[in-house]
Structure 1
Amino acid sequence: MSGLRRFISPLTGFRCAYRFDLPLRWVICRVNRSFIPAIWEARWWFDLPTQKQTRKLAAVLCADAAGYSRLMGQDEARTIDTLKGHFQVMNFRIEQHRGRVVATHGDGLLAEFGSVVDAVQCAVEIQNDLKARNEELPEASRMPFRIGINLGDVIEEAGNIYGDGVNVAARLEGLADPGGICISRSVHDHVKNKLNVGYRHLGAHRVKNIAEPVRVYRVMREPNAIGKEAVIVWRRLRRWQKAALAVTVALLTAFAGLAFQYFTDRTGAPRGIFASWGEEVLPLPDKPSIAVIPFENMTGDPGQEYFVDGFTEQIITSLAKSSSLFVIARNSSFTYKRKPVKVQQVGKELGVRYVLEGSIQKSGNRVRINAQLIDAVSGEHLWSENYDRNMEDIFALQDEISLKIFTALQVTLTIGEQARGWAKGTKNLEAYLKLMQARESLYEINVERNVRARQLVEETIALDPKCAEAYALKGASYFMEVWLGSSRSPGDSLAQAVEWTLKALAIDNTLADAHARLGYLYVITPPHRYEEGIAEAEEAVRMNPNSAVSHYFLAMALRFAGRQDEAIRALKIAIRLEPFTPGTYHQNLGLSYLLKDDCGEAVKACEKALERERNNMMAYLIATAVYGACGREAEAGKTAKELLRLNPEFSAQAFAKKLPYKNPKNRERVIAGLRKAGL
């Protein structure tokens, strides 16, 4: 059309267009696949008179047709008729749910609702209606829609809405599948228990022109759709992919749950002991106890989160190496990230006397760090300090803060602890920053970010070939790709994990987590070197007595070797160090109790695991084995049913072949329990 003019908005970066033949010279901006009216853009470009603006909170729905351009190319007339019919359905549903259509343009629709529950229910009904309409059309002519919904602050003017609340909804629509619905975390928090649908967390996504990452959830139109989706994916796998996945599950049975908790979503809210055990108060340890909660990023740049989190983690690691301190594990400490909590609450929930908190502001080559140590019982500030340094001083600063804390708590380090505490890491600032980014990528726990983590550690090694932690993280990335199912050869990947971990330890033998991971690898991979694996994990615990992960890996090695009493002790220590406990800790505690013939404790542990992870296949598998072996057939039947819901092709016989127990009787004990449940 001749009156159409296109430009790139200097305010938002969106592709926009205006038409002189429309009232007020409206400007239409394309966000992802959606067009939204932007009267602000028109004013900026054409100096139009201002009108009254109103801010309000609204549930914003953006919808856009998938494959619209392709359909128009095939048959314009049919496509326009289909689009009009779809819009009529959408308009009817929006009005029915007390919503308002703000604008339609091309194949896009923008609507607002006063209730977020109405918005999501409306979207579900729209997708159901459109699915029925599309099924009446030839497959090549079907027009599914993507829908995104956000709850946020918007600016209303002359009947139009705009602002980040609208932009986020448009970005969510772009992340949805054709025929699907994606919602933001703010929407999910309001509707999660109010509608008869399910939700699948898709993680945090960085979207264009939005400063903070957006946490995205997919709406599943059936409450139990996630389990069914897993079944469909399994059935579509090729034979070699199923075999690789089976090996992965068998070798990394326990690691799966741990990795999910240990490496991801530091901003979520895992259920802690208070959620399931009532107001039980954890007793304070018989030594100074501390939690280091994530330092606040005052930089104003979300891209610096990796640096701030990495600095916090380095402080935790330095403190954890002292046997005279009790230090809460990183996973539980990071539960409080971006949460305004009182130190008294942290102390109570984690069972510690002291809390370290702080903030970091980075500008160019300068960094300003504020740190304060607080008595969580009295609220007294024991020590606080402000540091204003060059970035090159960051390594010495980490050590200085740790030393100040030891001094304030009157902790005396042994010579060995001093050597480990001030171990020589990289002093190359560029290498250090890449290492922090690699660690952050690894914690995202998905295939793409795992690949990115390996690229970053390889760049780190190029900058500093003697950076031991980079080699350790490279080994961890191979370990992770087996768990993620992205390895073409799990055996080769595990061999690579061993090789790079050994390389790291050859450079720096004080890396406790590397020793622990190596110990576990020795046990689960042929020829199953049990004693070597246990020795490595014990060395890890000696070097870092506060590492929940090291205690956990030690427990796994001990259980497979048949030393159940020691495995139980190690798991109990891991659980105390990790108050927001991953379900996998309790799963494996239950197995150790079973192999010790203590059915009462085995059942208790499995029930705690199920409380924490209701859709975890391994939780149901282990609970079924325990219930069956302990003569509780009714409960075994129920958990077996859930196990088969999540994995219809599960085979007890195939599972048995992969269990690396030193004593075959232990393997038979587990499998006998599964068979009693009918598996």
Structure 2
Amino acid sequence: MERRLTAILSADVVGYSRLMGEDESGTLERLKACRRNLVDPAIAEFHGRIIKLMGDGALVEFASVVDAVQCAAIIQRKMACYDQNTSEEKRIQFRIGVNLGDIIVEGEDIYGDGVNIAARLEGIAQPGGICISGTAFDHAVHKADVGFSSLGEQRLKNLADPVRVYRVLLDPSQAGKVVAAPTRPPRRRLILATLAALLIATAAIVFVWQWPFAPQRPSIAVLPFTNLSGDPGQDYFTDGITDNLITDLARLSDLDVISQNSVFAYKGKPHVLADIKRDLGARFVVEGSVQRTGDQIRVNAQLIDVASGDHLWANRFDRGADVFAVQDEMSRQIAEALGLELTRSETERLARPPTANLEAYDYYLRAEQAARTGRRSRLLEALALFDKAEALDPGFAEAFAADARATAYVWRSAYDDVLQSALARKRAYDKASRALALDPDLSSPYAVLAVIQVVDRRYEPAIASAQQAVSLGPTDAEAYMALAYVQLISGNHAEAVAAVETALRYDPNLSAIDRYTAGLVFYLQRDYTKALDNFERARDGSPGNGEFVTPLALAYVRAGRLDDARAAVAEGVRLQTGRDCLAGWRLGNAHFRKQDLSFILDALREAGLPEWPFGFKGDERDRLNGDEIATTVMGKLLRGKTEPSQSPALMQIGLDGKAATRSATQMMTETVSVNGDLLCEQSENAFGRADCGPVYRRANSPDETGYTYVNSTKVFYFSPVK
């Protein structure tokens, strides 16, 4: 089963049953002619895919919301003057609804709320008119040659939640306008305006009088519970109790919860309430301990008011192996102590165990602990543990979601030695889709899909996925950072800054990779002070990782600190054993807008980052042109050695470009081609992108190799084997 975000157009014929009753054959002929001459060409023009044709309507999928709205507008404008020779009562008219939403794909058909909402919107559209959802409006406004009239939130048939609805204004004179539809008869406006002004004034007086005492949403930090089992091997289980309590409390609508990443910075360290209040902004703290002996679990927990130091609640839970009962009861009692009134759905969700299989749950907790380290060896271990949890319980939605998140981290970090890029992308996409099929209310799978989509340059679906992640996880810092990344790549820098600042409210101690993203956001927004602060925090959060050292040079260059910039580049290159280079940045960030990528590369070039790995520099007088490269390498076995270890390497290239590469550390298949005067390798690594570079003759070679091929990851000295 596949899930994806897409634009859906639903159309039907107004009064179809009446038309068929009055003139069945004539109606069918006119409808077929209308589709053939008008509807089908419009759908083709705007790259739509017809999912199904019903007797009186159609369901069409578009990759772009703007295309869907433009197509609907073209159809309705042309229909207004179509078939003028037919009497008014026999003339065909369409109603159209457009939605951007999540769908389930099975074969050639699509299902889900995304489709249902489009159909309901079509049902409330006027004859000859178009209604679109708020999600579609957000992406089409000012991009389609139409106007919009807001109809506010509407209750649609068989949908639990209201939907923002906009009517499309087809008159060309209204293109680009956004107006609010009147909701009251004009004669009542003066009375209502006067009453509203009085109410606002009264409310303002009350607010000013009560302001020091006005209630605010409580914020809470769940500090890592202490493992009292006497066995460090049980840390994963204790961390799991902390994690799941954070997750349960974060699902409560009236509570702000500090993220897991920030609170785990306190693990194993003494903490002072005043420091927690200052650093995390939390009003309340939960702390506790876990003791696990055999099948027995004892959990002690307490809720503390940070300002006063008062203990508002404390309890001890002794259970057998039913860890889920402990978590449910603890979450509900904390909510009650905070004075929160849980909705029925919140109560039901707290009581719902993530899995009935305790062995699967154990593997899941171990996998989460391994993934949290971010280390390559532990990430490989984590993926194997997730596989075991999912095999034991194929309905374990949280395991699939966590698997998708960890795999996406591997993919985004280009850890091809853990899992090749193409395989990691597919795994992350499949696991996220599976998690949403099992539990559509999960936030993190949408965040994963958003990052994948934006790297694939599917900007509109990426923004919609990220916004859905934020909607489902309103206190989830990872969701906001996914939104920040998507807006950054899409070129919406101000929106990216807003998302970062919101994420920092819920996670003041962002992970290194998120701090790096934040640094790029502020850098492209030209706020170099904040950019440098975030780049420094990324470096400090991942010591010894050269990937987070070189970016410091960006902010240093723009701040005029060229010596510091060159020192940062030198240190980054050293930590990455010479592999860091402009070609690598260019390839790894090819999904950025050209002007943004140029602004990054120009600074790194000024800071002294070399073009090629290991500081390689070729002499242009020795460089081969495209024809010479093809003659030298295509259909040949290339034997030689690679930097930096000078280890032996072979590359077998067929005349058709199919190739295999083998070295002391790597063996892979790929496709080789000549593009202009560059030799290109394309494999399942590097996001599946072609990695291209020049080939040089080796004048005065100290060994038997006659040529050098260089790209973003290698320097290969070789000679064709005769």
TM-score normalised according to structure 2 size: 0.50
Alpha-carbon deviations, 1:18-44, whole Å to 9, x = none? xxxxxxxxxxxxxxxxxxxxxxxxxxx
Return closer, same or farther for 1:306/1:408 CA change in 2, 3 Å cut-off.
same
- Structure 1 position 457, deviation (Å): 2.6
Report the counterpart of residue 331 of structure 1 in structure 2: 261
Report the counterpart of residue 346 of structure 1 in structure 2: 276
Return closer, same or farther for 1:538/1:416 CA change in 2, 3 Å cut-off.
farther
Of 511, 532, 549, which aligns to 1:620? 549
Could you tell me whether the CA contact under 8 Å between 2:408 and 2:448 is conserved in 1? no
Alpha-carbon deviations, 1:274-328, whole Å to 9, x = none? xxxxxxxxxx995211111122222223332222210111000111223422211
Report the counterpart of residue 498 of structure 1 in structure 2: 429
- Structure 1 position 485, deviation (Å): 3.8
Return closer, same or farther for 1:336/1:592 CA change in 2, 3 Å cut-off.
closer
Q: 1:233-632 to 2 correspondence within 5 Å?
A: 286-392=216-322, 394-413=323-342, 425-482=354-411, 483=413, 484-487=415-418, 489-524=420-455, 526=456, 528-606=457-535, 609=538, 615-629=544-558, 632=561
- Structure 1 position 426, deviation (Å): 0.7
Aligned-partner Cα distance in 2 for 1:518–1:285: 37
Aligned-partner Cα distance in 1 for 2:350–2:491: 34
Return closer, same or farther for 1:632/1:308 CA change in 2, 3 Å cut-off.
closer
Alpha-carbon deviations, 1:637-671, whole Å to 9, x = none? 33333333334343324422331445321112211
Return the letter of the residue paired with 2:593: N
Return the letter of the residue paired with 1:427: A
SS at match of 1:371: strand
Could you tell me whether the CA contact under 8 Å between 1:322 and 1:544 is conserved in 2? no
SS at match of 1:621: coil
Q: 1:46-65 to 2 correspondence within 5 Å?
A: none
- Structure 1 position 584, deviation (Å): 4.0
Return the letter of the residue paired with 2:316: N
Could you tell me whether the CA contact under 8 Å between 2:287 and 2:302 is conserved in 1? yes
Could you tell me whether the CA contact under 8 Å between 1:322 and 1:545 is conserved in 2? no
Return the letter of the residue paired with 1:396: A
Aligned-partner Cα distance in 1 for 2:311–2:548: 43
Return the letter of the residue paired with 1:389: R
SS at match of 1:391: coil
SS at match of 1:496: helix
Return closer, same or farther for 1:424/1:612 CA change in 2, 3 Å cut-off.
closer
Could you tell me whether the CA contact under 8 Å between 1:629 and 1:672 is conserved in 2? no
- Structure 1 position 559, deviation (Å): 0.3
- Structure 1 position 415, deviation (Å): 6.0
Aligned-partner Cα distance in 2 for 1:603–1:449: 30
Return closer, same or farther for 1:488/1:615 CA change in 2, 3 Å cut-off.
closer
Could you tell me whether the CA contact under 8 Å between 1:575 and 1:585 is conserved in 2? no
Q: 1:169-184 to 2 correspondence within 5 Å?
A: none
Return the letter of the residue paired with 2:434: K
Could you tell me whether the CA contact under 8 Å between 1:628 and 1:675 is conserved in 2? no
Return the letter of the residue paired with 1:352: A
SS at match of 1:291: strand
Report the counterpart of residue 122 of structure 1 in structure 2: none
Report the counterpart of residue 668 of structure 1 in structure 2: 598
Aligned-partner Cα distance in 1 for 2:539–2:402: 31
SS at match of 2:313: strand
Return the letter of the residue paired with 2:321: M
Could you tell me whether the CA contact under 8 Å between 2:529 and 2:555 is conserved in 1? no
SS at match of 1:650: coil
SS at match of 1:597: coil
- Structure 1 position 550, deviation (Å): 1.9
Aligned-partner Cα distance in 2 for 1:603–1:503: 39
Return closer, same or farther for 1:286/1:572 CA change in 2, 3 Å cut-off.
farther
Return closer, same or farther for 1:502/1:671 CA change in 2, 3 Å cut-off.
same
Aligned-partner Cα distance in 2 for 1:614–1:367: 36
Could you tell me whether the CA contact under 8 Å between 1:584 and 1:609 is conserved in 2? yes
Q: Which runs of 5+ in 1 are unaligned?
A: 1-283
Could you tell me whether the CA contact under 8 Å between 1:395 and 1:427 is conserved in 2? no
Report the counterpart of residue 145 of structure 1 in structure 2: none
Report the counterpart of residue 257 of structure 1 in structure 2: none
Return the letter of the residue paired with 2:597: R
- Structure 1 position 444, deviation (Å): 4.1
Aligned-partner Cα distance in 1 for 2:572–2:438: 44
Report the counterpart of residue 652 of structure 1 in structure 2: 582
Aligned-partner Cα distance in 1 for 2:592–2:349: 33
- Structure 1 position 418, deviation (Å): 5.3
Return closer, same or farther for 1:465/1:640 CA change in 2, 3 Å cut-off.
closer
Alpha-carbon deviations, 1:584-634, whole Å to 9, x = none? 444333322332334454445445555666644343332323333555544
Report the counterpart of residue 182 of structure 1 in structure 2: none
Could you tell me whether the CA contact under 8 Å between 2:451 and 2:485 is conserved in 1? yes
Return the letter of the residue paired with 2:417: S
Aligned-partner Cα distance in 2 for 1:358–1:352: 17
- Structure 1 position 416, deviation (Å): 6.1
Could you tell me whether the CA contact under 8 Å between 1:587 and 1:605 is conserved in 2? yes
Could you tell me whether the CA contact under 8 Å between 1:628 and 1:672 is conserved in 2? no
Return the letter of the residue paired with 1:519: A
Return the letter of the residue paired with 1:287: R
Return the letter of the residue paired with 1:381: H
Return the letter of the residue paired with 2:443: A
SS at match of 2:299: strand
Return closer, same or farther for 1:313/1:374 CA change in 2, 3 Å cut-off.
same
**Structure 1 segments (4+ residues) deviating >6 Å:** none
Return closer, same or farther for 1:669/1:293 CA change in 2, 3 Å cut-off.
same
Report the counterpart of residue 137 of structure 1 in structure 2: none
Report the counterpart of residue 613 of structure 2 in structure 1: none
SS at match of 2:551: helix
- Structure 1 position 368, deviation (Å): 2.1
Stretch of structure 1 that moved more, 300-309 or 647-656: 647-656
Could you tell me whether the CA contact under 8 Å between 2:376 and 2:418 is conserved in 1? no
Q: 1:94-133 to 2 correspondence within 5 Å?
A: none
Aligned-CA RMSD value: 2.9
Return closer, same or farther for 1:450/1:600 CA change in 2, 3 Å cut-off.
closer
Return the letter of the residue paired with 2:454: V
Structure with the larger RCO, 1 or 2 (CA within 8 Å, 6+ apart): 1
SS at match of 2:308: coil
Could you tell me whether the CA contact under 8 Å between 2:261 and 2:511 is conserved in 1? no
Could you tell me whether the CA contact under 8 Å between 2:300 and 2:317 is conserved in 1? yes
Aligned-partner Cα distance in 1 for 2:329–2:601: 53
Return closer, same or farther for 1:563/1:418 CA change in 2, 3 Å cut-off.
farther
Could you tell me whether the CA contact under 8 Å between 2:245 and 2:327 is conserved in 1? yes
- Structure 1 position 566, deviation (Å): 1.4
Return closer, same or farther for 1:678/1:343 CA change in 2, 3 Å cut-off.
closer
Flag the structure with larger Rg.
2
- Structure 1 position 417, deviation (Å): 5.2
Aligned-partner Cα distance in 2 for 1:639–1:453: 32
Return closer, same or farther for 1:614/1:469 CA change in 2, 3 Å cut-off.
closer
